[in-house]
Structure 1
Amino acid sequence: MLAHIPGLKVMFPATPYDAKGMLNLALRGTDPVVFFESQKLYDMGELFVSTGVPEDYYEVAEGVPIIRKEGNDITILTVGAALYKGMEAAEELEKKYKVSAEVIDLRFINPLNYDLIIKSVKKTGKLVLVSDACERGSFLHTIASNITQFNFDYLDGPVVVVGSRNWITPAAEMESVFFPQKEWIIDAIHEHL
């Protein structure tokens, strides 16, 4: 819902490095910002930047997603902590099915620069969107619609959205049946693509 409010910036980092750089960006600006963070990430270290989180001031480029894993056969676009399930799915696709998945971390929900996503989909022809948000009514459907419009001639199948179950969020011990799992992503790929 927040992603559709004009003028509101919406950020959702998946790594400690991005969290600091995006928070610096948010604090420097004068626009209203919603900054999401997943509790799942509190105990994780920085896995994508070998030098860790710098002590010095830095910002992350606004609205720009980032490729976390290069691939050629399918694009997996993730939001927030779903990045790690997307990475697990990509690893299994490679090992078990010899499918090379490109994993993109969205980082920003609004504003969003689509250039990297469009380029990736032109290369792979397939797109799966993954988020911990409930699938019904998810902003991922807006992204799926936009990508379909921008890349229609390059898509080999429908854009697929994988999200949480359409339930009230359960207690922590039920997370594995509520939030997307790597198996859900792989199943969605097999079913739709």
Structure 2
Amino acid sequence: MKRKLTMIQAITEAMDQKLADDSRIMLLGEDIGVNGGVFRATEELVHKYGPDRIVDTPLAEAGIIGAAIGLAMNGKIPVVEIQFLAFIYPGFEQIVSHAARMRYRTRGQYHVPMVIRTPYGAGIRGPELHSESVETFFAHVPGLKVVAPSTPYDAKGLLIAAMEDPDPVIFLEPTKLYRAFKQEVPEEMYRVPIGKAKVVQEGSDVSIFAWGAMLRVAEDAAKQIERENGLSCEVIDLRTLYPLDRDTIIASVKKTGRAVVVHEAHKTAGLGAEIISIINDEALIYMKAPVKRITGFDVPVPQFSIEDDYLPTAERVKDGIMETATF
């Protein structure tokens, strides 16, 4: 049966169903028990599963993630909630030095099946440390998988897949989309495969790559540009940021010959640069124009009064599409 859920409801349901399905699953985080988490993603779960499985932790990200690594190596599957992505920095060393490389370091004797959930991105009128988009930090680290859903359907399916993955997964939740819209989501458990992008809209003139909250911006721009200029845009939701779905990226640009990448992270060394490199390595001779990046700027996320000027908009994306189309 399908019902319409918001993204936050879909995420809660995924955790609820896996907690019931697998006794190894446990949740750790700040205020995730009685309070239900800062965005209420874990609301009521402590009453169903108890404080031994829904663990309220001290305000200590290094300790939360370090404890989760130890639990994962000893038979549990911990799902960590970090309140905001930029709060993860105190636990960064635990992630990159231990979680990501434990299987390599032990030659496969130990795995670290854990998920780190964290909201990210601007557009919610929060301070800069509540609004950063620094996915590149984690996509650079071998041993981690990095996921960023754009819809309630994908959020549930990807989170279930992440909780069943034998390796650590960074699960990035676009804060702006938590309650932005509802979508039909199956009641039963299902999986969306990690590492597979989704062609949201078929097109023939230009490929647009996006993820998270920027997917809706890309879709809006594609609809407007088709209506106003008659250009056919192929819109692709990457969904997994590491490992990237190279096959879908290359197949699309071979078809269209043009590409635009949209992300709200800083431009320098953002994932857009890696996508351009993949295209240059494997499909350069098919390209009719340079790849265009529409991104955030190389500054901290500004205060809310000018936050909208920082984020990519449909107008900026349309300008990028026209620049590639008229090259």
Q: Same fold (TM over 0.5)?
A: yes
Q: Does 1:174 align with 2:306?
A: yes
Structure 1 segment 99-138 matched on structure 2, within 5 A: 99-138=231-270
Could you say which residue in structure 1 is the equivalent of 2:274? 142
Distance 1:96 1:139 in 2: 29
Task: Report the Cα offset of residue 43 of structure 1.
Answer: 1.4
Return the letter of the residue paired with 1:32.
P
Displacement of 1:29 after TM fit?
Answer: 1.4
Q: Which blocks of at least 5 consecutive residues in structure 1 are unaligned?
A: none
Residue 41 (structure 1) aligned to one of 156, 171, 177: 177
Identity of aligned residues (%): 40
Please give the alpha-carbon distance, in whole angstroms, between the structure 2 residues aligned to 1:167 and 1:120.
Answer: 32
Q: Give the TM-score normalised by structure 2.
A: 0.56
State the Cα distance separating 1:55 from its structure 2 match.
1.3
Structure 1 length as normaliser, TM-score?
A: 0.93
- Is residue 2:139 matched to residue 1:3? yes
The answer for the alignment partner of 1:184 in structure 2 is 316
Distance change in 2, residues 1:144/1:46 (3 Å): farther
Opposite residue 4 of structure 1, the aligned amino acid is H
SS at match of 2:159: helix
Q: Cα distance, 1:38 vs. partner?
A: 1.0
Letter in 2 for 1:37: E
The answer to whether the aligner puts 1:159 opposite 2:291 as a matched pair is yes
Whichever residue aligns with residue 74 of structure 1, its letter is V
Tell me which moved more, 36-45 or 83-92. Answer: 36-45
1:66 match: 198
Deviation at 1:46, TM superposition (A): 4.1
Name 1:29's counterpart in structure 2: 165
The equivalent residue for 1:77 is 209
Corresponding residue SS for 1:37: strand
Contact 1:11 1:109 in 2 (8 A): yes
For the Cα contact (< 8 Å) 1:3–1:109, is it kept in 2? Answer: yes
Residue 174 of structure 1 deviates from its aligned partner by 2.5
Higher RCO by CA contacts (8 Å cutoff, separation 6 or greater): 1
Residue correspondences, number: 189
Moved over 4 A (4+): none
- CA RMSD across the alignment: 1.3
